[in-house]
């Protein structure tokens, strides 16, 4: 059955219909026709009286949407999440219950800092945001393709974001700023070692994972608390490009990943992911304390195995990128019954920051924008004249109190390095040499000391390359 056309929702179709209107009829943007004479006469009359002229000119000035402060260049697609394993004994959120249940999703994938017109192939971390349109309202998981974040302190996010942007004084990129930030936030290397390894340049957006990163506090129907980390791994496997390959593609196509995702969906080759949760108990939380919630660390899979929950399929391209992708607004604070949120500080900061960003970028009616609307939700704020309000008693407990600790992550970075193939180690050395080459000897030696602490082979290889006296 065809979905009924709704002009307010379906802006792309509306556009098509407008194009089919009788030739020669021009209109102002609110639809009313204007005569050719009125539309083209701008001479000998105050322009402010020419509604068509004012309409066209003011729209042109405002037609570019405000960029996201990070992740400004992105691509989107739509599909569904389907439950394959019921985890209602752990989490009562409806999207995870009932094998076979499908929840519609919107996905936006984006390089973290590439500007709108820049290449999306540059080495870096990718945002992978999922919006679930659940029966209980919107659930947003704005995650990453890597399984950890670079900092456990929210204000350092701003420092990182600035160090990856153009230097405001000369408006060119300054690679030394990133090194300066890494020296101040050495725990970031646990994530950055992935980024400078093969995962930094995926083969396509179909070959990357989604990691929600935060350990989320959840509840089952009886109010019992557990903790989950959510991941989706690509069924096509992780695949990568080399620096040499991207150099070649870049010249031809800086929108390579967007094109690939769009073309695969268009020809019916739908990208798909298998989704998992790692599950921890309240006892695990007591035993591990902050370690369970530290976003700069992944949860070890031998201790917390990946438990399958569902699959995600993207099977529809946007019909209108502005309406459906640019206006998408993800907020980690958009949660549903059964998922209480992440007890860590980064989560708490994000809960505030994204809403703030949406108010600035999209305005106060952000939730009424069709793509952000909880269209599956049943909450209608009933008016008391025509209906009896149904009371709902949330059973939700407060979030666990978690105190951040200063833990070194180099044990995980060391494991990552040791588990790399010889080929990947060589490629990692190459990209780190590229990173350190423009640095002063003191900054370079500071960095080499950190790499030495991660693994003597890694520090030693870099020291030899730069004839550093800091290491062997
Ligand atoms: C304190 C830490 C962080 C702050 C303050 C922060 C802030 C922001 C802001 C303001 C935006 C733009 C939102 C918009 O305009 O719609 C954004 C985008 C994004 N952030 Fe963060 N972020 C932080 C950490 C993270 C982490 C840990 C992740 C992954 C788990 C993440 C993933 C994303 C993604 C995927 C987007 C793009 C969403 C989209 O496609 O619309 N961020 N972030």
Q: What is the mean pLDDT of residues 25-49?
A: 77
Q: How far is the CA of 310 from the centre of ligand 1 (A)?
A: 24
**Rounded distance from Cα 452 to ligand 1 centre (Å):** 31
Share of the chain above pLDDT 70, in %: 89
pLDDT band at 471, cuts 50/70/90?
very low
CA-closest residue to ligand 1 atom 12 = 68
Q: Which CATH class is domain 75-179+193-372?
A: mainly beta
pLDDT confidence band for 396 (50 / 70 / 90): confident
Burial of 177 (C-beta count, 10 Å sphere; 0-12/13-18/19+): middle
Domain ranges of the chain: 11-62, 75-179+193-372, 420-465
pLDDT at position 472 is 43
pLDDT of 190-218, one tens digit each? 999 999 999 999 999 999 999 999 999 99
Q: What per-residue confidence (pLDDT) applies to 16?
A: 67
Provide φ and ψ at 110, rounded to 5°.
Answer: -155, 140
Is 463 a residue whose pLDDT tops 90? yes
Which residue has the CA at smallest separation from atom 13 of ligand 1? 354
* Tokens at 238, concatenated: 């992780």
- Cα(168) to ligand 1 centroid in Å equals 22
Q: How far is CA 213 from the centre of its chain?
A: 11
pLDDT band of 33, cuts 50, 70, 90: confident
CA 28 vs. chain centroid, Å, equals 37
Distance CA 112, CA 74 (A): 9
Give the mean pLDDT of 79-86: 98
| Tokens 């409806």, located at residue | 94
Q: Is 270 left (phi over 0), alpha (psi -120 to 50) or beta?
A: beta
- Mean pLDDT computed over 374-402: 71
What pLDDT band is residue 382 in, cutting at 50, 70 and 90? low
429-443 pLDDT tens trace: 999 999 999 999 999
pLDDT tens sequence across 276-328: 999 999 999 999 999 999 999 999 999 999 999 999 999 999 999 999 999 99
- Of the candidate ranges 42-46, 86-90, 225-229, 390-394, the one whose mean pLDDT is the lowest: 390-394
pLDDT digits (tens, 9 = 90+) for 124-149: 999 999 999 999 999 999 999 999 99
User: SS3 of 453, please?
Assistant: helix
In the numeric block, which tokens belong to residue 96? 């995870």
Cα-to-centroid distance, 469 and ligand 1 (Å):
40
Is the confidence metric ipTM above 0.85 for this complex?
A: yes
Q: Are 228 and 278 in contact (CB under 8 A)?
A: yes
């Amino acid at each position: 059955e065809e979905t009924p056309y709704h002009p307010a929702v379906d802006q792309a179709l509306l556009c098509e219909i407008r194009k089919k209107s009788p030739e020669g009829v021009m209109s102002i943007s609110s639809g009313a026709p204007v005569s050719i004479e009125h539309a083209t006469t701008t001479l000998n009359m105050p322009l402010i009286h020419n509604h068509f002229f004012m309409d066209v000119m003011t729209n042109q000035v405002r037609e570019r949407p405000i960029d996201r402060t990070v992740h400004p260049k992105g691509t989107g697609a739509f599909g569904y999440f389907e439950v394959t394993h019921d985890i209602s004994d752990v989490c009562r959120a409806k999207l995870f219950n009932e094998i076979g249940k499908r929840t519609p999703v919107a996905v936006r994938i984006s390089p973290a800092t590439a500007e709108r017109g820049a290449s999306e192939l540059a080495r870096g971390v990718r945002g992978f945001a999922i919006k679930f349109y659940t029966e209980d309202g919107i659930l947003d998981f704005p995650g990453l393709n890597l399984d950890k974040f670079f900092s456990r302190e929210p204000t350092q996010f701003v420092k990182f974001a600035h160090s990856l942007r153009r230097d405001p004084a000369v408006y060119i990129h300054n690679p030394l700023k990133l090194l300066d930030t890494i020296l101040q936030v050495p725990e970031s290397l646990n994530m950055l070692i992935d980024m400078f390894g093969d995962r930094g340049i995926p083969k396509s957006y179909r070959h990357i994972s989604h990691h929600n990163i935060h350990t989320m506090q959840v509840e089952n129907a009886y109010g019992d608390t557990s903790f989950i980390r959510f991941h989706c791994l690509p069924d096509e496997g992780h695949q990568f490009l080399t620096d040499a390959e991207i150099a070649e593609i870049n010249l031809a196509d800086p929108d390579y990943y967007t094109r690939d995702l769009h073309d695969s969906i268009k020809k019916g080759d739908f990208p798909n992911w298998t989704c998992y949760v790692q599950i921890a108990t309240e006892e695990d939380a007591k035993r591990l304390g902050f370690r369970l919630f530290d976003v700069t660390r992944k949860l070890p899979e031998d201790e917390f195995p990946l438990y399958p929950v569902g699959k995600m399929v993207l099977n529809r391209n946007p019909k209108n990128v502005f309406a459906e992708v640019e206006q998408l607004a993800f907020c980690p604070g958009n949660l549903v019954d059964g998922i209480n949120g992440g007890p860590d500080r980064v989560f708490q900061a994000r809960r505030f920051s994204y809403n703030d960003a949406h108010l600035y970028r999209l305005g106060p009616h952000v939730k009424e924008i069709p793509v952000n609307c909880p269209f599956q939700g049943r909450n209608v704020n009933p008016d008391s004249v025509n209906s009896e309000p149904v009371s709902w008693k949330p059973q939700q407990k407060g979030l666990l109190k978690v105190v951040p600790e200063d833990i070194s992550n180099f044990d995980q970075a060391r494991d990552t390095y040791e588990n790399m193939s010889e080929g990947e180690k060589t490629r990692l050395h190459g990209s780190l040499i590229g990173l350190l080459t423009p640095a002063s000897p003191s900054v370079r030696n500071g960095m080499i000391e950190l790499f030495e602490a991660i693994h003597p082979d890694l520090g030693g290889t870099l020291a030899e390359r730069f004839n550093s006296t800091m290491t062997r």
